[in-house]
Structure formats: C-alpha cells, structure tokens
Amino acid sequence: MTTEPILRIEDLYKSFGETQVLKGFSLTIQPQEVVVLVGPSGSGKSTLLRCINLLHPPTAGRVWLDAQEITAPGVDQDKVRQRIGMVFQDFNLFTHLTALGNVMIGLTKVRKMHKKEAHDLAMLELERVGLVDRADHYPAQLSGGQKQRVAIARALGMDPHIMLFDEPTSALDPELTGEVLEVMQQLAKEGMTMIVVSHEMGFARQVASRVVFMENGVVVEEGPPNQMFTQPKSERTRAFLRKITDLDDGGERQ
C-alpha cells in the first residue's frame, strides 16, 4: 500500500557562511508517522526542522508538503508555516499574553477568527493538553512542563498537518518531562504526523514509527525503533545509541 507522503525532503543543503550544516539530507514521511530524529549535537537536527518550515531558507534542495513544493519560488511562506506546527526547546511563549492569549493570538491574527470562536477553540486546545484551569495564567506563573504544553496547544490551534518538536523536553526538570511526553504520545495516538528531535529513548521506543540517526548533516541510518536499538547496521549508530541509552537508563535509576 502506497500513500502520498505528507512530507518529502530531497537533497537538502544549508550553509551559514562557510559552515555547511546540512549536506544533502533526504527523508520522506508518510501521514501519521512519528519520526524521532537523533544525532550528536551540531549534526544539524534543529537546522533541519527550521529549514522544513522555512524559518531558515535552505541553500539548496527541495521540500514538498502535501505534494506542494514549498521551496519553490513564489510560495506564500506564511501560509506554509501555518500548516507546520513547531514546538521549541525553550518554549518561546509570548510573555505578555496569558496561556489562553498565547493560543488565541494565532487564531485571531492569522486564521482571522472572531474573538468568541477563537476563545472557544483555544479552550478546547488547552483542554487537549490538560491546562484549562491555567488559562488565565501568564507564562511566568507556569511550570516548565505547563509552558511546553501551552506551546503545544498554541501550535495545535493552527490546525497543522505536521508537528515539529525541537528537543521539547531538554529544558525541563526530569520530573516534568513526563507530562509533556504524555501529551505528545496522545497526539501520536490521534494520528498526528510528527518529527521529534529528542534523546528521550523511552519515548522513541514506545511511540516512534521510525528512528532516524543523523550526523554531519546527512542521514546515517534509519529504521523501526526495535531494529535501530537492537541490531543497527552501522557501527556509528550502535555506538551513539548505546551512549544515549546508557545515559537514559542512568537517569531513570536515580
């Protein structure tokens, strides 16, 4: 059975001045897939996510979203970004707005909804991440885990076709990562297509349909989590995954 891929990245290059970060990265993602992207720091994971939603214009290569080439000239990039939800490592909630306001502002300003309609939908999204009772709180009054869940609700409000997570739990205390991962797991269950940059190997094992290991701006190896963790083809993949799995277990034992 072949379905139309939701996202196709072909031979993507990205340089910042002299530094080449992505060196011919290719990946195809089917609807409802959850792809966990791992790799050493500096391997280009964050840059890749920011190239996918065009926050960084790729130096070369092409990206298709829903069969539309979004790297083609003349594409309305703001419209493209609406369809791609993004969650950041450091949340980036709008500090002058409440949790509700953070979710609402995209609905009123970008989706041009009326206030009432936007309010109701925003409350629904907050309910999805379990934060209805924090709707009136400002970001400074929320815990890290709550902030990240608001950020997820804010992205979901735009009704994205795919969600990008850039190390969503790295800035969190260990006891707060669980609530964020739970929300993400729920999203995956509901059929959301997701690319997750994360070293949460427990999450990768349970939720990922595919694990992609990248290094130096290219894909080294990819496969189902089981295969990647137990019998990776590349020695480099084995070494890297063993290292972060050990760290992960070490963290859990404490």
Partner 1 sequence: MDFLQDLIATLSFILQGLWVTIGVTLLALTVGLVFGVAMAMLRVYGNRFLRQVATVYSVIVRAVPVIVIIFILYFVIARFVNLSPFLAGSLALGFASGAYQTEIFRGAFQAVPPGQMVAARAIGMSRLQAIQSIILPQAVRLALPAWGNEATLVLKDSTLVFVVGVPEIFRRAQQISARTLEPFMAFGAALLLYLILTMIATQILQWIERRYRLQM
Exactly one of 15, 24, 75, 94 binds partner 1 (CB under 8 A); which one?
94
Distance of CA 155 to the CA centre of its chain: 10
What single DSSP character describes residue 137? Answer: -
Nearest-approach distance from CB 187 to partner 1, in angstroms: 17
| Residue placing its CB nearer to partner 1 in the complex, 3 or 95 | 95
Footprint of partner 1 on residues 96-115 (CB under 8 A)? Answer: 96, 105-106, 109-110
Beta-sheet pairing, 68-69 with 210-215 = unpaired
| Residue placing its CB nearer to partner 1 in the complex, 30 or 92 | 92
Exactly one of 119, 128, 149, 154 binds partner 1 (CB under 8 A); which one?
154
Nearest-approach distance from CB 247 to partner 1, in angstroms: 27
**Element spanning 24, H or E:** strand 19-29
| 155 sits near partner 1 (criterion: CB under 8 A) | yes
What single DSSP character describes residue 168? Answer: T
- Tell me the residue type at 44: G
Reference 188, options 107, 198, 213, 82; nearest CA is: 198
Backbone angles phi, psi at 78, to 5 degrees: -65, -40
The dihedral through the CA atoms of 84, 166, 6, 154 has a sign that is negative
Q: Pick the piece of the chain touching partner 1 (CB under 8 A) from 64-72, 114-122, 138-146, 234-242.
A: 138-146
Q: Which are the contacts of 6, defined by CB distance < 8 A and separation ≥ 6?
A: 29, 30, 31, 33, 65, 66, 161, 162, 193
Reference 61, options 121, 9, 117, 3; nearest CA is: 9
Q: Pick the piece of the chain touching partner 1 (CB under 8 A) from 32-40, 92-100, 187-195, 232-240.
A: 92-100
Binding flags for partner 1, 24-63, as an x/- string (CB under 8 A): -----------------------------x-x--------
> Interface residues with partner 1 (CB under 8 A)?
53, 55, 78-79, 81-82, 84-86, 88, 90, 92-96, 105-106, 109-110, 138-141, 151, 154-155, 157-158
